[in-house]
A and B are shown apart, each in its own frame.
Chain A
Amino acid sequence: MHILNRKLIRDLWRLRGQVLAIGLVIASGVAVLVMSLSTLESLRDTANAYYERYRFADIFSGLERAPLQLKNRIAGIPGVQTVQTRIVKIATLDIEGFEEPVIGQLVSTPERGKPLLNQIALRKGRLVSPGHIDEVVLSEPFADAHKLQPGDQLKVILNGNKRTLDIVGIALSPEYVYAIGPGALMPDDKRFGILWMGQEALASAYDLDGAFNDVSLSLLVNTEPNFVIKRLDQLTKNYGSIGAIARKDQVSNWFLMNEIRQLRTIGMLLPSIFLTVAAFLTQMVLSRLIATERAEIGLLKAFGYTRLQVAWHYARMVMAISAVGILLGWIIGAWLGRYNTELYADFFRFPFLYYQPSLFTFAISALISLAAALVGSMRAVYKAATLPPAEAMQPPSPPVYRQRHNVITELLSWLDQPTRIIFRQLARWPIRSMLTSIGVAFAVGVLIMAMQWFDAIQEIIDVYFFDAQRQDVTIGLTSAQGNEVVYELAHFPGVLSVEPARIVSAKFLVGNRSHRGTLQGIMPNAKLSPVHDVQRGIISVYPEGLSLNSKLAEKLHVEIGDSVRVQVLEERRPEILIPVVDIFESYIAMPAYINLYALNRLMKEGRQVEYMSLLVDEKYESKLFAKLKDIPDVAAVTLRKAAVNTFNETMAETLIIFVTFFASFACALAFGLVYNSTRIALSERGRELATLRVLGFTKTEISYILLGEVGLLIAMGLPIGCIVGSGLAWIMTSSFETELYRVPLVIHPSTYGKAILITLAATTISAFMVRRQLDQLNLIKVLKTRE
């Protein structure tokens, strides 16, 4: 073996503690990168394969009723490859042993053969037999939540008639990877499920023989979806279409893609922090090593080793340290990626999972971390390479300290000598000290950023589910009805108060900007589901004019006083210019409100209502639920309590895992940083500390000098960390901002406290490890050797 290789191996072994500590930090960065990239890739590959294999459509459109002949005209639109018509309806289900009403999405399947688009992946049992109108295939998460099996039965209210259906199969569908019920924020598998039934069964139940109310299209390659959508909307306009959407806006797919986007953000942000710190650490250790090896470097050069050979020797050391981290990061990252992907697969339902992290993921993570470490150590390596041999063999002159006559000197005179040593040390190497503090700050910051989610979610729950909503139950009717229904409902068991609303699909247009959403008509004195502003609380809706969510106003570029062209997509499809009278802020969706009476007038209808918010006496809840299950006109029942619970459970589950990941990484960061700084300080100042021991200082007293310094740096890092944390949290929350929800930037004081405590724990452990080495300081050896 080449003699320099031997030296390299022995040096690495001697510095193994520090090598491992730097390795851990590099590993954290690599692990996050590998985890994010591999999860991202497998999620994307799985989704793409799933979409392709089960022929997920490119364009979706819901209508009221259209004759089957329209299908041919749709197929004639240039760029359309396949057309699939269906019947899709919402119905109330009655599941034995489950008190609350359950909402089912009924989807028709062709009587014979597979559908051309949006095929289902059968998991158990079989598909519906032709002509069997009482057979149903259930979506797997829903069946699992209620422990339903093929052979079991369930009751459904089909267009007013209660029918008992036989479950013959359990399936998954690319259309409902993220199965979200009407008006819900999160999938709730207990209260929302998909039911696939035969075309004939649904056609006869809903009087849709020879007709359809839903159409999906696939497109030829390189076809612009918007062009087809435009043509499709023209064709379906007279059949009650509320406008077609492209795949990217399809709810399930949107959530899936949004998740992938967020993973990318995490995958970019965090590795950069870790690898920057790792670069700083390698530079610190290496420059120290080179300082202690001056004489050897001089000797090597005197023997005739070239600058390049010396540089290469130390560069290889950096590479070896990085290799340790990269390897460790690969293993942790691949494992976490697999674990993470499985979590996602469990959340989003996939019938299969591709987890094959690509070579690219591993290669890019290695390349980036290696580059970061090499760039970080460039200065130290360059210094070693350019050290003149004669000078190198001389001991370095003692570090120069200077007495400055200023306020600091005055302050120092009040301190004892050991404390003065600490301060002078910091003042002598301000950049190194600052970098240590900043590194600690990043550890604190990453923790705050991760834990901020708990606060943000709590804030969303508080504001959205409690401040903005006071109702216990929301009921959606199958279609708008006269106001009498309000009085009818008021007499239902346990109902304390009823508040009606009317919600219509609409397009909002301002210049060339547009938004498709809903216009919600609410009572002027609404109390149960009012307009709610994050700052102002409940605000009443004006008699005329629009109250817009700030995000929607921003999207449309309107301010109070501007007018918005509202195109209602239902019934008579009125189109009218309405002024914006109020703009409010909310975290969820982008709602637009209008006075209920004004909406009725706009729709050119009498007092019509479609949604009802109820305040319910808990004691009569089950009686009310039983009654609601039997009412044909009820299309949806949402319980606030259940919604909150689902939201909490889903969030808590994902968040705890997420926060645990990042807490561990942040701890590795803090630990690696403090261990290295202290270890280096110990080897640099072993002589000084040994001298103090000889002079009669106790072990505790010299620990004070060494650990006091790093303690002070940590203490300085903590408040900076709080600022960094707020910044990182801001970057995260703003990058997570979507039309569906805005994550508020809320950080509770206790979150800062926890982040600080966790960082302190990690740094204390490393300080203790160095303290043990301090206790074993060999006084005689240190003093007898020359500096």
Chain B
Amino acid sequence: MKHVVTNHSKTQLDSEKRKITLSTKALSKIYQTGEVKVHALRGVDLSLYESELVVLLGASGSGKSTLLNIIGGLDTPTSGQVFFYNDELTSYNDYELTIFRRENVGFVFQFYNLIPSLTALENVALVTEITKAPMDAADALAIVGLSERINHFPAQLSGGEQQRVAIARAIAKRPAILLCDEPTGALDSQTGIIVLDAIARVNRELGTTTILITHNAVISDMSDRAITLADGQITSITQNPQRREPQELVW
């Protein structure tokens, strides 16, 4: 099931020729909470290309998290389809979705969700133990710049450090897709930039297709494409001719 991603040069940006990693067709999601029906997604068509970095913008309740969760196999749509290369994710059962996540998806959340009883290294090893052909856990931590602190427990790390451990944990399996839901939401701008830099570096060096949800429009400057959602629909897609380095961002 594991798809090996080949590295592409970002300078020859040519969407047409690149392979589609993941695509959605007429994706809709309706939540039924009590007596209220919430249309979280209303027919979303979207394609994600190999090794591109997409920023997903939108107000809260616009449906960006729902979209991310469905793409990542954490949630299932009410109607519509999701394709991962040629496989239809929407036909998977719970176990197949679990294996899909295990092999192909890396998640990073606003609240780092590290296992408190495991050290940084062990948190990464947690994932490398169960996946095929992972990178070395220590190497993954080196990519996010945490080589010095691999034996620290979460309680001994700062928020930014914890988030970088979460990133290392997400990428150690060499996932096809990296999904980041507000990764800097709980951090100050300085620390946020360090975290974003780690994400950009992973995307650049490993060629992982990356989706990054944010409230912060400034962050879209580091993306290849910025997609804006409102009320469960895509309202705009902005192609970014020149990606900026995270260090250049200011907010």
Residues of A whose CB lies within 8 Å of any CB of B are 397-403, 416-418, 420-421, 424-425, 428, 687-688, 691-699, 701, 779-780, 783-787
B182 to chain A: closest residue by CB: A784
Q: Is the CB of A417 within 8 A of B129?
A: yes
Instruction: Kindly identify, within residues 121 to 143 of chain B, every residue whose CB is under 8 Å from any CB belonging to chain A.
Output: 122, 125-127, 129-131
Known: A780-B69, A784-B65. A698 touches B98 (CB 8 A): yes
Q: Which residues does chain A contribute within 8 Å of B114, judged by CB atoms?
A: 691
| B158 at the A interface (CB under 8 A) | no
B107 to chain A: closest residue by CB: A694
Q: Is the CB of B115 within 8 A of A691?
A: yes
Q: Which residues does chain B contribute within 8 Å of A698, judged by CB atoms?
A: 95, 98-99
| B239 at the A interface (CB under 8 A) | no
Residues of B whose CB lies within 8 Å of any CB of A are 65, 69, 72, 74-75, 94-95, 98-99, 101-103, 105, 107, 109, 111, 113-119, 122, 125-127, 129-131, 151, 153-156, 169, 173
Q: Looking at the assembled complex, report how far the CB atom of A720 sits from the nearest CB atom of chain B, in whole angstroms.
A: 25
Complex formed: what's the CA distance from A772 to B94 in Å?
Answer: 15
Q: Looking at the assembled complex, report how far the CB atom of B11 sits from the nearest CB atom of chain A, in whole angstroms.
A: 33
B122 to chain A: closest residue by CB: A417
Q: Is the CB of A401 within 8 A of B127?
A: no
Complex formed: what's the CA distance from A417 to B115 in Å?
Answer: 10
Q: Which residues does chain A contribute within 8 Å of B102, judged by CB atoms?
A: 695-697
Q: Is the CB of A695 within 8 A of B74?
A: no
Q: Is the CB of B117 within 8 A of A787?
A: no
Q: Looking at the assembled complex, report how far the CB atom of A465 sits from the nearest CB atom of chain B, in whole angstroms.
A: 59
What are some 6 contacts across the A-B interface (CB < 8 A)? A401-B155, A403-B119, A692-B126, A695-B107, A695-B127, A699-B98
Q: Which residues does chain B contribute within 8 Å of A397, judged by CB atoms?
A: 155
A422 to chain B: closest residue by CB: B117
Complex formed: what's the CA distance from A397 to B95 in Å?
Answer: 34
B170 to chain A: closest residue by CB: A695
Known: A425-B117, A786-B111. A694 touches B101 (CB 8 A): yes
Counting from the closest, the 3 A-B pairs by CB-CB distance are A696-B102, A424-B117, A417-B126
Q: Is the CB of B126 within 8 A of A424?
A: no
Q: Which residues does chain B contribute within 8 Å of A425, judged by CB atoms?
A: 117
19 additional A-B pairs beyond A399-B117, A698-B99, beta carbons within 8 Å, are A398-B116, A398-B155, A400-B156, A401-B117, A417-B125, A418-B126, A420-B122, A425-B117, A428-B117, A692-B126, A693-B98, A694-B72, A694-B107, A695-B107, A696-B105, A696-B131, A696-B173, A697-B102, A698-B95
Q: Is the CB of B117 within 8 A of A400?
A: no
Q: Looking at the assembled complex, report how far the CB atom of A713 sits from the nearest CB atom of chain B, in whole angstroms.
A: 16
Q: Which residues does chain A contribute within 8 Å of B72, judged by CB atoms?
A: 694
Q: Is the CB of B129 within 8 A of A416?
A: yes
Q: Is the CB of A780 within 8 A of B75?
A: yes
Q: Is the CB of A403 within 8 A of B155?
A: no
Complex formed: what's the CA distance from A132 to B168 in Å?
Answer: 107
Contact of A688 among B116, B122, B156 (CB under 8 A): B116
Q: Is the CB of A399 within 8 A of B118?
A: no
Known: A398-B155, A420-B117. A696 touches B75 (CB 8 A): no
B151 to chain A: closest residue by CB: A403
Q: Is the CB of B111 within 8 A of A696?
A: no
Complex formed: what's the CA distance from A779 to B154 in Å?
Answer: 21
Q: Which residues does chain A contribute within 8 Å of B94, judged by CB atoms?
A: 699
Q: Is the CB of B169 within 8 A of A695?
A: yes
Known: A696-B99, A780-B69. A421 touches B118 (CB 8 A): yes
B137 to chain A: closest residue by CB: A417
B173 to chain A: closest residue by CB: A696
Complex formed: what's the CA distance from A667 to B111 in Å?
Answer: 41
Q: Which residues does chain A contribute within 8 Å of B74, judged by CB atoms?
A: 694, 779-780
Q: Which residues does chain A contribute within 8 Å of B125, judged by CB atoms?
A: 417
Complex formed: what's the CA distance from A701 to B111 in Å?
Answer: 23
Q: Looking at the assembled complex, report how far the CB atom of B53 sits from the nearest CB atom of chain A, in whole angstroms.
A: 21
Q: Which residues does chain B contribute within 8 Å of A403, judged by CB atoms?
A: 119, 151, 153
Q: Is the CB of A696 within 8 A of B119?
A: no
Q: Looking at the assembled complex, report how far the CB atom of B61 sits from the nearest CB atom of chain A, in whole angstroms.
A: 13
Q: Is the CB of B118 within 8 A of A424?
A: yes
Q: Is the CB of B126 within 8 A of A695?
A: yes
Complex formed: what's the CA distance from A402 to B153 in Å?
Answer: 7
Q: Which residues does chain A contribute within 8 Å of B115, judged by CB atoms?
A: 417, 421, 688, 691-692
A428 to chain B: closest residue by CB: B117
Q: Is the CB of B103 within 8 A of A696?
A: yes
Q: Is the CB of B155 within 8 A of A697?
A: no
Q: Which residues does chain A contribute within 8 Å of B119, judged by CB atoms?
A: 403
Q: Which residues does chain A contribute within 8 Å of B129, judged by CB atoms?
A: 416-417
Complex formed: what's the CA distance from A692 to B123 in Å?
Answer: 10
Complex formed: what's the CA distance from A358 to B122 in Å?
Answer: 62
Q: Which residues does chain A contribute within 8 Å of B154, judged by CB atoms?
A: 398
Q: Is the CB of A697 within 8 A of B130?
A: yes
Known: A401-B155, A417-B122, A783-B109. A696 touches B98 (CB 8 A): yes
Q: Is the CB of B101 within 8 A of A695?
A: yes
Complex formed: what's the CA distance from A515 to B66 in Å?
Answer: 88
Q: Looking at the assembled complex, report how far the CB atom of B184 sits from the nearest CB atom of chain A, in whole angstroms.
A: 15
The CB with the most chain A CB atoms within 10 A, among B95, B98, B101, is that of B98
Known: A421-B118, A694-B74, A696-B102. A400 touches B153 (CB 8 A): yes
The CB with the most chain A CB atoms within 10 A, among B107, B109, B130, B156, is that of B130
Q: Which residues does chain A contribute within 8 Å of B173, judged by CB atoms?
A: 696
Complex formed: what's the CA distance from A81 to B86 in Å?
Answer: 106
Complex formed: what's the CA distance from A416 to B127 in Å?
Answer: 11
The CB with the most chain B CB atoms within 10 A, among A402, A783, A786, is that of A783
Known: A403-B151, A695-B107, A786-B111. A421 touches B117 (CB 8 A): yes
A785 to chain B: closest residue by CB: B111
Q: Which residues does chain A contribute within 8 Å of B113, judged by CB atoms?
A: 687-688, 691, 694, 783
Complex formed: what's the CA distance from A724 to B198 in Å?
Answer: 56
Complex formed: what's the CA distance from A697 to B97 in Å?
Answer: 10
Complex formed: what's the CA distance from A729 to B210 in Å?
Answer: 66
